[in-house]
Each structure stands twice: as C-alpha cells, then as structure tokens.
Amino acid sequence: MPKELCPCGSKKAYQYCCEMYLSGKKKPETAEKLMRSRYTAFYRGDVNYLVATLHPDCRKPDDYQALSKSVNHTQWLGLTVLNTQKGKKNDVSGYVEFEAIYQIDEPGQLHERSRFVKADGQWFYVDGEILLGTIPKRNQPCWCGSGKKYRQCHGI
C-alpha cells in the first residue's frame, strides 16, 4: 500500500514526518518542524494541535472556535518554506518564512514570516508578519498551481 505523502511539502511519508507530532508521540525539535506540522494541522483540520502549539501567552478564549471555522472553510494546497532564521534544537527563538497556497472561494497565497519561541523545551508559534506574496513573471507558472502561465491565470 503506498504511503501518504506529508502535506507539509517535505516529500516524506506522513507517518515518518508530521504524524508523530500531531499524534503527540513526539514534539517538534525545531521551529521549522513546528511550522510544517502546524501547516499539516491546518490541512488536516486538527484544531486541538493548532491551539496546543500556540504560545500560552498568545491564546484567546475564542481561538478554538475561530480556528475551527477557518479549517472548515479553507482548503490548503501547498507549502514552500523560503527561509529559516535560528529556530534550531539549541535555540530559544526562531523565524520561518513561508508561502502557502490555499483556496476558500478562489485560490490565495499566504506569505508569512512566523515567529516561534521555545518554552520548557517545547516550540510554540507566537505570531506572524504577513508579507507580499511572490509574483511570478508573465510566462512563469502561476503561483496557484493551476499549471497555466501567470499571465493567463492570476496575472493582470
């Protein structure tokens, strides 16, 4: 039976990648692994994991409800990690810049620089700075994954 690829874009089988984090068998050792596992949680609709990996100081009473609504209305289509600063096993903070493709009604692109901190040996998401999405050149493939050239798809 073929193994399901992990949605996080690692090209690894889900069971050898983010599944161990979402199931609670293991904690992500780096900020990037936490970011990838959170993307996978959004993809799979695992709101409990999303709340548990949000830094306790950043949690709000309505987080579970807001995240539930988000995961129920959003289809996540792809993740590309662009840059990682610090966030290694021995660091206490780090940043991960990524682009994620999603669809609510129309395809969209989220480009974010996420901030993570380690507390009591566990990485947590703190917040993120939304950045401008990458705009391909006219004849490059469109960012939405349609297979069309940018100018024939989302190009203006």
- pLDDT, tens digit (0-9, with 9 covering 90-100), for 24-39: 999 999 999 999 999 9
User: Could you tell me the pTM of the whole model?
Assistant: 0.88
CATH of 14-152, one of 3.40.50.280, 3.40.50.300, 3.40.50.1820, 3.10.450.50: 3.10.450.50
pLDDT in tens, 40-96: 999 999 999 999 999 999 999 999 999 999 999 999 999 999 999 999 999 999 999
Angle, CA of 80, 88 and 38, to the nearest 5°: 45
Which string of b and e fits 37-56 if b means at least 16 CB within 10 Å? bbbbbbbbebbebbeebbbe
Compute, in degrees rounded to 10, the torsion defined by CA atoms 12, 107, 112, 24: -40
Q: Which amino acid is at 108?
A: G
Domain ranges of the chain: 14-152
